Structure 1
């Protein structure tokens, strides 16, 4: 679309109903501030800039909104005098003379670019005001969109509506597009002659029509227009976002046995033919390649799992975990900043931190890379096809050579050459009859305590 466009995002609310120590729009949806979801949506509409109207936590909100590669300018709304007043807080940006001005809200994180593009197209087709509406089976409480001969003639609030108008199911979302060449002129005509003494953006419908302008409406899916005012509504938003993203992934070829139990982040990438079992949580920064298997009850964040690799069940991959093709991280294992080579196995009850494991290596149950000395972290390097026996502790910095063998129960503090066998444990001794003596002493001690008590 060869038209310039400014998006005005209203994000200055006090978040009173959220009962929070931070601005409502900073609360996360899919591990991302909801304001960032909104900016990403408007960034896909070929806009030239974003005017972000902020209030509480202004600097933090502006920082969270800096996504999508668009130019963002923040404008402080010092008083809360209605939506029309809020838009005019960005007067300087509007005055630059964009063809289109989109007005949207920072607490509507499920919106996509499609309705915004439709509104812009309606402006290009000659409308001066375009209201974005949605159809709902539960219209109670919403302003109704009243249309005649293809034009929007009014937005009727429920308290002012007739019975016939209340039966209308097309409702006002609050989102709007304005002819940028007339925007300041029309906004300046909004008055505050109402019970609250506020300036309402919806008055633009009547104002534009009185000036001979054309006013229309476009439709959006109801779910995309869902707003957030409190923690309960935030939970609904999270559920809706998750449902939508799971559905997209499954249509792309990802298998989920119980999709309602899988939780994704905004940037989760999962390839075709990957299998996700129940109760898996993906934090930010995860890439799962096609054909990988994530078993149940695993938690993955900041990690890459290659094709054919398997994770879990009950595994945790922390930031920096990188599993090569065909590798395995099994049950009750944790990997942090660790590279697991092709075909390598970290099967059970093991911690791998700040480590590199070579192809085909086997890490036995209960193995720990001791990477932290209380001040600094050091690296453990395990060579290709090395075998680390169960219950071993590898004290970093340390290197285990290719094809080396670490005896079970060892504490390894020095480098082990390739093909070598290393023992790092005390010699076993047998004391015949000593167990009986120790048991009798323990029982006598217990009996003495009981006699005193």
Structure 2
């Protein structure tokens, strides 16, 4: 790719009224990540020297999401895409490289595609503008790109197109690459003499053509430039992204028994020979090592799962969970900020929060770490090869020593030393014959009440 510096202008000023949401359209998530942040990550891979996001409605939300990673330029009022790009002129003062024009609601433009646009811009014929185009299954109301080879002869919005132009299937994505030296000079010549009375960005192509300059097209997969304007389109894009991610997972050596029921996050990492049963949901921040089995109906987020582990069915791993090699989390077990050592087990009906569990330890059914007193969180530390009996409550902060045993039904409030047995139970009371006498008395009472009726 060219060594010239790159800047990116990302349009995100629209009101997104079709979303019917208090959240800005470009901040709605796909695969656990805001649309805008998917796009910004792809842009960042090009190492741009400047990034300018054009904002309007709910600008404060976008500013918070970007956390200073890009400049903001306000478009108010909103008079079209050409007018939107003009608002970046001040932020790009003194910039002399190549400019990519992107859209915040078009989140999945690959970095390689952006690079191809820059390469074409710097080809020997030096086009004034490079347009990214695509051929959808249904061209609908997209603007059309009229070409001869890869040279653009005309750009036209659907509402302004003739019947012959509407028959063309090559469509304008709206994404462009332009030299900074050309961009704002061309935009200054754009007018609003069209059906919508807006300043169209695409008109810079027609202006450059009128100047007898070359404009070129680069094509891409329709998925890469799919825009999202409604919740239905958001759901459709989520579905399309998930389908691609599942195919990738299987191609890379994971087995999905019912692929359509597994949902990935944008950063889910799977090792080889991972087996995933039906109805598994991955939130952000999950890494799964080789040879792991994730059984049905698990919800996993912010967790690191070591080689050879088994999780589920019906397990919930929350952020901060780390499972060592061959650890096991069974059915109806929930973990949060819990680190389990090699071979440690919690097989049934357990909550482990703010806990460290040593290698080989066994956590019995119904055990919970009582980590919260209503104000603060506290740690539970369980030593290697410790055995925690069923239905135990470990009241943090507390430490259970190596090889220690906690008897079933214990409520442990003080540390347990290495190798100790701790039983914390009320005294068992035995009254021989009491139950028989109770049953006899109650049967007679019930019979008497029935006879009285």
Shorter-chain TM range is over 0.9
User: Is the contact between residue 160 and residue 195 of structure 2 (CA under 8 Å) also seen in structure 1?
Assistant: no
Structure 1's 219 and 430: CA in aligned 2 closer, same or farther, altered over 3 A? same
Q: Provide the secondary structure at the position in 2 that maps to 1:330.
A: strand
- Cα deviation for residue 247 of structure 1 reads 2.2
Deviations 1:21-74 (A, max 9, x none): 12101111111111101111222234222111011221321332359xxx5111
- Cα deviation for residue 200 of structure 1 reads 0.5
Is 1:156 aligned to residue 148 of structure 2?
no
- Cα deviation for residue 151 of structure 1 reads 1.0
**Counterparts of 2:106 and 2:447, CA distance in 1:** 69
Is 1:74 aligned to residue 75 of structure 2?
no
Question: Is 92-101 or 191-200 further displaced after alignment?
Answer: 92-101
Is 1:172 aligned to residue 207 of structure 2?
no
Structure 1's 234 and 404: CA in aligned 2 closer, same or farther, altered over 3 A? same
Q: Provide the secondary structure at the position in 2 that maps to 1:394.
A: strand
User: Is the contact between residue 10 and residue 52 of structure 2 (CA under 8 Å) also seen in structure 1?
Assistant: yes
**Two-structure CA RMSD over aligned residues (Å):** 2.2
Q: Provide the secondary structure at the position in 1 that maps to 2:30.
A: coil
User: Is the contact between residue 128 and residue 213 of structure 1 (CA under 8 Å) also seen in structure 2?
Assistant: yes
Determine the structure 2 residue equivalent to 1:65: 66
**Counterparts of 1:424 and 1:189, CA distance in 2:** 84
Q: Provide the secondary structure at the position in 1 that maps to 2:118.
A: helix
Question: Which blocks of at least 5 consecutive residues in structure 2 are unaligned?
Answer: none
Deviations 1:381-436 (A, max 9, x none): 11111111111111112111111111111222222211121111123222233234
1:196-345 to structure 2, matched below 5 A, reads 196-345=196-345
**Counterparts of 1:90 and 1:162, CA distance in 2:** 33
Determine the structure 1 residue equivalent to 2:411: 411
Is 1:32 aligned to residue 30 of structure 2?
no
Q: Provide the secondary structure at the position in 2 that maps to 1:260.
A: helix
Structure 1's 173 and 441: CA in aligned 2 closer, same or farther, altered over 3 A? farther
User: Is the contact between residue 337 and residue 353 of structure 1 (CA under 8 Å) also seen in structure 2?
Assistant: yes
- Cα deviation for residue 244 of structure 1 reads 2.0
Determine the structure 2 residue equivalent to 1:139: 139
Determine the structure 2 residue equivalent to 1:15: 16
Is 1:425 aligned to residue 425 of structure 2?
yes
Structure 1's 426 and 79: CA in aligned 2 closer, same or farther, altered over 3 A? same
Question: Which blocks of at least 5 consecutive residues in structure 1 are unaligned?
Answer: none
1:33-48 to structure 2, matched below 5 A, reads 33-48=34-49
Structure 1's 39 and 449: CA in aligned 2 closer, same or farther, altered over 3 A? farther
**Counterparts of 2:99 and 2:449, CA distance in 1:** 83
- Cα deviation for residue 135 of structure 1 reads 1.2
Question: Is 283-292 or 442-451 further displaced after alignment?
Answer: 442-451
User: Is the contact between residue 143 and residue 171 of structure 1 (CA under 8 Å) also seen in structure 2?
Assistant: yes
Structure 1's 450 and 268: CA in aligned 2 closer, same or farther, altered over 3 A? farther
**Counterparts of 2:73 and 2:31, CA distance in 1:** 27
- Cα deviation for residue 93 of structure 1 reads 2.6
Is 1:104 aligned to residue 102 of structure 2?
yes
- Cα deviation for residue 121 of structure 1 reads 0.9
Deviations 1:98-134 (A, max 9, x none): 3211111000112211221111111101111111001
**Counterparts of 2:25 and 2:99, CA distance in 1:** 24
Q: Provide the secondary structure at the position in 1 that maps to 2:253.
A: coil
Structure 1's 37 and 66: CA in aligned 2 closer, same or farther, altered over 3 A? farther
Q: Provide the secondary structure at the position in 1 that maps to 2:70.
A: strand
Aligned length: 450
Partner of residue 83 from structure 1, selected from 81, 84, 88: 81
**Counterparts of 1:381 and 1:295, CA distance in 2:** 27
Q: Provide the secondary structure at the position in 1 that maps to 2:112.
A: helix
Q: Provide the secondary structure at the position in 1 that maps to 2:219.
A: strand
**Counterparts of 2:28 and 2:193, CA distance in 1:** 34
Determine the structure 2 residue equivalent to 1:193: 193
- Cα deviation for residue 160 of structure 1 reads 4.2
- Cα deviation for residue 330 of structure 1 reads 0.6
